[in-house]
Chains A and B, each alone.
Chain A
Amino acid sequence: MSESPGRVTTPNEGRRAAVWDDTAEIAAPLRLHETTAPQEWMDYNDHMSESCFLLAFGDSADVFFRYIGIDEAYRAAGHSLYTSQTHLHHRQEVALGELLVMTLQVLDYDRRRLHIYHEMRHGVTDALVAMAEQLLVHVDMEAGRSSDMPDDIYAHVSAIHQAHSVLPQPAVVGHPIAIRHGK
């Protein structure tokens, strides 16, 4: 794999989509990615920069995409999932070398859209560090517009959503940013 230097990469670039197993149990939530916070994610205070929380959630989403069948070959054929919205919530600062464990929950979906929720927990204390709510859209990249997911990927999303129906709705989901007075 050739890489242009100094661009954003994910740990799973070049890894092919997982082979979906209809008989395998689906974890609720999915636990697909963990990482230790590297030096390049630290700001001048030696805390993890805000945008790097989104990199970590993005890496978890990338593993999720490969799990449902979206990899480089799928994208090269002209379709992809684009992020339409991201809402990040920060709860704790992260220091160099701390282990971060990500989970992912499918909240809702239709033929073209996916509503997902991530949590990031501290790998040792299990404390909730950050959360992210995202809306993803399946797009036809050449046409530059949204398009239906193919049947196999749609079926995978549907199966995951079904498995995740036992999970509670996260408290932060669906709220705009606001100063809540009286708090």
Chain B
Amino acid sequence: MAMPEPAAPEGAPFTAYREEVRQEWLDYNGHLNDASYAIVLTRAHELLLEHLGLSAAYRESHHASMFTVEMHLTYVAEVNPGQVLTAATRVVEADHKRLRLRSELYADRVLAATGECLYLHVDTLAGRTAPLPADRQSAVDALLTAHAGLRT
């Protein structure tokens, strides 16, 4: 597999995620349900994992996968139907088998939540953690370096 293209200009967060709030994510209040913020965060992060070559196709081809071990959401604002969700994601920490992503989630460009996930690279046949392949490690390291100046 070819090396992924750079996500964005050097130093900018990853912002590929964009979609409208879905009806099935709302609760009885007509607002985005607590758990649905986790869906949004996961979908935004999945795009970054895909960019790194670590998404569903990788799971099939390499019998390995990024397994979420922790997720931390801080809720900032309610989200309503019809709003457009976007995310600014950065790689904040990584080593040979672990990856930590942090996102700001926006609804119509207003900050709605922040979220962090810690992923473990798991060999799904052996059922245990394993080092990232060299090409994926390079992709991770490149983004980690590009995002280094963004850390708050």
- A: residues with CB less than 8 A from B are 4, 6-9, 13, 44-45, 49-52, 54-55, 58, 72, 82-90, 176-179, 181
Contact = CB atoms under 8 A, between A and B. Distances in A.
B35 A8 contact: yes
Contacts of A50: 38, 42, 68, 71
Query: Which 8 residue pairs are nearest across A and B when measured between Cβ atoms?
Result: A51-B38, A54-B35, A8-B33, A51-B39, A88-B71, A55-B35, A87-B72, A8-B27
Q: How large is the interface on B (under 10, 10 to 19, 20 to 34, 35 or more residues)?
A: 20 to 34
B95 interface: yes
Contacts of A84: 74-75
A63 B43 CA distance: 29
B71 A8 contact: no
Given A85-B75, A181-B95, A7 B100 contact: no
B35 A7 contact: no
Interface in B8-44: 23-28, 33-36, 38-39, 42
A55 B37 CA distance: 11
Contacts of B74: 84-85
Given A7-B24, A84-B74, A85-B74, A179 B95 contact: yes
Contact of B35 (A58, A85, A177, A179): A58
Given A8-B27, A54-B38, A179-B100, A87 B71 contact: yes
Contacts of B25: 7-8
Contacts of B98: 179
A113 to B, nearest CB: 14
Contacts of A87: 70-73
A6 B34 contact: no
B30 to A, nearest CB: 8
A179 B24 CA distance: 34
Nearest to A91: B69
19 contacts: A6-B24, A7-B23, A7-B25, A7-B26, A7-B33, A8-B26, A9-B28, A51-B38, A51-B39, A83-B75, A87-B71, A88-B70, A88-B72, A90-B67, A90-B69, A176-B72, A177-B117, A179-B94, A179-B118
Given A51-B42, A52-B35, A86-B34, A177 B72 contact: yes
B68 A90 contact: yes
